[in-house]
Every structure is written in structure tokens, then in C-alpha cells.
Chains A and B, each alone.
Chain A
Amino acid sequence: MAQIPPQTLHRDPQLFYWILIPITIVMVLTGVLRHYASVLMATTPKKADIKAIREQRALAHGAALRTNYHVLSRKSFETRRDFLIEGFESGAYLKAPNQKGQPPANPMTDPNAMEGMMGMMKNNMAMIIPNTLIMSWINAFFSGYVIMKLPFPITIKFKSMLQAGVQTKDMDPRWMSSISWYFLCIFGLQFVYVFLLGSDNAASQIAQQMQAQQMPVGPMAPGQDPSKMFKAEAENLAVIEHYSVLDGIEERLLERIKV
């Protein structure tokens, strides 16, 4: 059986020093720069207004009563229920009682929501701009040839990933082009950033994407009408069939401690 002779390409060793290392260094430095840029641009989260907090807590209070009503005796539960239902329905806890019934404000015109969006925009910009710049830099100077050979064999599927920008059909996938090295750097430098900047850095893009996906959804999702939420909570409270853990507790306890 004829062995396929290993492909040999003669590369200038200078490629290693003048392409591989510069790309890596530039990538690391951009990450660090991006971290500090985002630290500088970050706006402190705006403090919630006392009325907004009151609205939220009142709703949470209703929910707490709805789930834990069983610790109360019937009489004290009914007092609280009537009080809360009245407050909820009359809109006494609303942030802006006179806006009751109006459609929720358009998030585009709401300055509070706008600020949040600006923050997101800034982060995205801080990610997109340097990436575009570096990629066009690499494309302009280093595209069209391979720069290194991986020290381990690799299957043919990796060809498109590792040899982006090199149109050679039969070349061993172990050869790697500069643009692929750039992509590897994007995904592989996360731990370098963690070491350099601490675990909550803003340099790594993957971490940022994860963050964007799991945006916390507060109890008050924007665009929801709080007065409707209060109405719904009042209804939930009104239909509770009361029982108490205190009913018949003496017998229950006796049985338990007798055994």
C-alpha cells in the first residue's frame, strides 16, 4: 500500500514571528482596551424612584400574602385581603395613578428605557467596531496564505474553519491561515482575559453574549400595565379559599410527639 507522502510546504520562519505573534498581541491588547473602554463608558444604573419601588413591593406583598396566607388565622387573613384588594383596585399603590388605563408608554419615548438601550448599544458598538477593524486589517495584510501547521492531525471537516481565505482543495487541513488564527483568538483568549482583568471583565465577547441572553426579567417587565397587574393580583387574592396551618394543630402535634 502506497503511503501518501506528507505534504511539505516551505514556509519562511519569519511568518511565525511577524504574523502569528502580532495578531495574538493585537487581540489581547484590544480585549484589554475594550474592557477599560466599557468601564469608562458604563453608566451607573439609575436608582429607582421611591414610587416605583413602592409599586413593586406592594405587588410583591400581594404575592406573598397569596402564597403564605396559611400562616394566618381566618380573621387576620380576611382583614389583610380586604385591605389589599381595596388598595390594588383603587390604584393607591400605582406609581402614576392618573395614568391608569392608558396604554403603556412606547419604550422608544420613555427616557428610562432609552437609557438602558443606549447602554446596550454602547456595549455592542464596543464589540463590533474593533472586530471590524482588526478583521479588515488582517484581511488586507495577511490573507491568502497559510501561516502554521498544527502539530496534530485533524479531520477534513475543519478545513473550512482553519483555511478560510485559502482556496486550495487538496491541502491538508492542518495548515492554518491567518484569518482562522484570528477566529481562534477571539474564542480562545477568554482565560487570558480572566487572568489579566479578573473574572468579571468586559473584554471577552462570549461572556457578553451570554449576559445579553440572560437579561434579568424583573417583576415589572416593561410594556406591561401595572394597573392591570394589580387588578389581576386583586382577583387572585379574592378567590383564595382560606385554610390555616393552625387548624387542628394541637392534635397534629400531639400525634407527632407521642410517637
Chain B
Amino acid sequence: MPPLLLRPHASLSHAEALQVAQQAPEFLRKNPASYSASPLFSLFSPPESSKTWTIYENLLLACLRTGDYTTAHQCLERLVIRFGGNDERIQALKGLVKEAEATDNSELEQVLKEYEAILANDNTNVPISKRRIALLRAMGRTAEASEALVQFLDFATTDAEAWIELSDLYLSQGLYAQAIYAQEEALVIAPNAWNLHARLGEMLFMAAESGSDGHPQAYLAESLKRFCRSIELCDDYLRGYYGLKRVTDKLLDKDSKQKKPSDSDEVTLPETSTIEQLNLAATKKLGDIVRKYDAKDPLWQGYDSGEVAAARACLSETSQNMVR
């Protein structure tokens, strides 16, 4: 795993973000404010690499997250000195700082207007388009956000990040079919991303649970397949096993209640015995993971503690059912 400073900021927990933000002043002190192209300076100053600028960006995000606006401004200033204020990415970062510092809705409106002005000049500015969509969503204007996102995806059809965002947006509104479609588009672009497979499985499962559509059985069957695929792509993937357990529980539960053959659907369920075996395997694996995580086995500490807790709860539920 890359060092903390270089990891994408979104993957950091709160504690890690704080840790990063605390390193910011020292990093700012160690590195020069600007790099000169002249050879004489480059002999005396630390070398400039693309990593430096990734770190600056991460520090900026972490400082904003922890509320250290003065340091954030210093980071931004250096980025502006290096890349110029008109760079697309820098424009987006500037907007982000303004968004973070905004105290009420009217200030956010102001930022939104600025974004729209930039986009009116240059409608291919991807970072700003994305910021505008994110801001719309943050301001609770979901419908406008999804409309803007659909427009954005019309010309950038190969942007997996945007598809995932759209999928999440639809999911938050309970539009399962659309969410699933968008998630599948993301999978077409990144076919081997196990987290996307598992996420799609979760969506399908939710769609089956909600029962708004007529084919919960088909959703469950495909959800089962998605979880299986995510485990196939990534051994010991907790979310995959967790989903597999939930979905097989549900299927077995259903099977016992109503034995309804649904051959009309194209996605067919496997044999009940197979489902049982999968359920057993998932239970066993989840048990393993929880046990090893609790035993502080150094090789098994990479899991998110919340996810492990959910797995633990799920397991205890099952064992209670068994006792009853």
C-alpha cells in the first residue's frame, strides 16, 4: 500500500485524514514555495516530482476536511503558482475550497454561479462539471444533479466515476432499475473491479427486497451471481461473502416458504443444494474473518471495522436462528 500521503483522499478514514492534515505544515516548510526551471536552483532544492503535487492535493483535501483553512490556502497557493490559475484541475480545487468555506446556502449559490460561468465559456471542462454536479447534490437538488450528470455522461460515456455517481444518485432515490443500469455501465468500463461487482450485487439485493418490480426472484439470482463473481475476483472479500450469505439466506428462506419455479426468467437459480453449500461456505468464511480480525492476526487487519461488526451481527443472528 502506498504511504498515507499518496493514497487517494476518499479512501482515508477520519483519523487518517487528521493524521495527514497534521503533516501539512511540516511538508509546506520542507518544500520550497516554487520550483525554478533554472539549473542552479535545482542543484540546491529538493527535486520536483509528480508525487509532490499529488501530496499537495491530498494535503489540501485533508486540511479542508479537518477545517484547517489557512494551511489549505497555502497548499492551494503553491498549486496555483506551479500550474497557473486557469488549469482545469486547479479551478476545481479552488471551487472546492470556496465550497468548504461557505457558511450558508447563499454563498454556495454564489459558487454554483461561478461554476456555471466557467462552463458557459468552456463546456468540456470535466473537473468543473463534476464539481457542479457534486455541489448540486450536496445542496439537496437531486433532480438537477441527476439531470446534469446525465448530460455530462452523454458526451463522456466512458467515465466510470460518473456512472458510479449516477448509480448512487438513483439508488438514493429508490430508482433501482436505473441504478443497476448505471452500475452495469461502470462495470463495462472496469470489468474486473470486484468492488463494483459486489456493489451491483447489493443493489440487486436491495431491489429484490423492495419488491417494487415484479421479479424479485430474478434480482436475487443475479445478485447471487454478482457476489460470487466478486469473490472469484478477490479472495476473502468481506463484502462479497457478506452479501453472498445474506442473499443465500434469503433464497433458502424463500425456497422453504414457496417453491415457485420461475423458468420464464432468463437468469436461473442454481440447485438448492448449491445454494446451501454456498451459504455454508460464506458462513464459514465470515466466521474465519471475524475470528482472525478479533484475534488481531496481523495479516487480517485490513478490513473495515464497521464491515466486520456487520458480519459479526449477521453471524450471531444466524446462530440464534439455529438455536431456535
Contacts and interface: CB of A to CB of B under 8 A. Distances in A.
6 contacts: A50-B124, A54-B155, A64-B189, A249-B228, A250-B270, A253-B232
B123 A50 contact: yes
Interface in B247-293: 266-267, 270, 274-275, 277-278, 281, 285
A253 to B, nearest CB: 5
Contacts of B270: 250-251
Contacts, number: 92
Given A53-B124, A65-B188, A250-B225, A74 B158 contact: no
Contacts of B197: 71
A73 to B, nearest CB: 6
Question: Which A-B residue pairs are the 4 nearest by beta carbons?
Answer: A54-B155, A61-B157, A68-B191, A246-B225
Contacts of A250: 224-225, 228, 270, 274-275, 278
Given A53-B124, A253-B228, 13 more contacts: A48-B124, A71-B191, A72-B188, A76-B184, A198-B37, A198-B42, A245-B229, A249-B225, A249-B229, A250-B278, A251-B274, A254-B281, A257-B231
Interface string B111-129: 0000000000011100000
> A-side binding surface: helix, strand, loop or mixed?
helix
Interface of A: 47-51, 53-54, 57-58, 60-61, 64-65, 68-76, 80, 195-198, 245-246, 249-254, 256-258
B297 interface: no
Contacts of B267: 73, 75, 246
B304 interface: no
Name the interface size band of chain B: 35 or more
A197 B124 contact: no
Nearest to B284: A257
B239 interface: no
B37 A53 contact: no
Main DSSP-derived SS at the B contact region: helix
A213 B157 CA distance: 31
Interface in B179-230: 181, 184, 187-189, 191, 197, 222, 224-226, 228-229
A130 B94 CA distance: 44
Given A70-B191, A75-B266, A253-B232, A54 B154 contact: yes
Nearest to B189: A64
Nearest to A67: B191
A72 to B, nearest CB: 6
Most chain A beta carbons < 10 A, residue from B42, B122, B123, B277 = B277
A234 B122 CA distance: 31
A54 B181 CA distance: 20
A256 B232 contact: yes
B181 A76 contact: yes
B266 A61 contact: no
A73 B188 contact: no
B193 to A, nearest CB: 10
Nearest to A68: B191
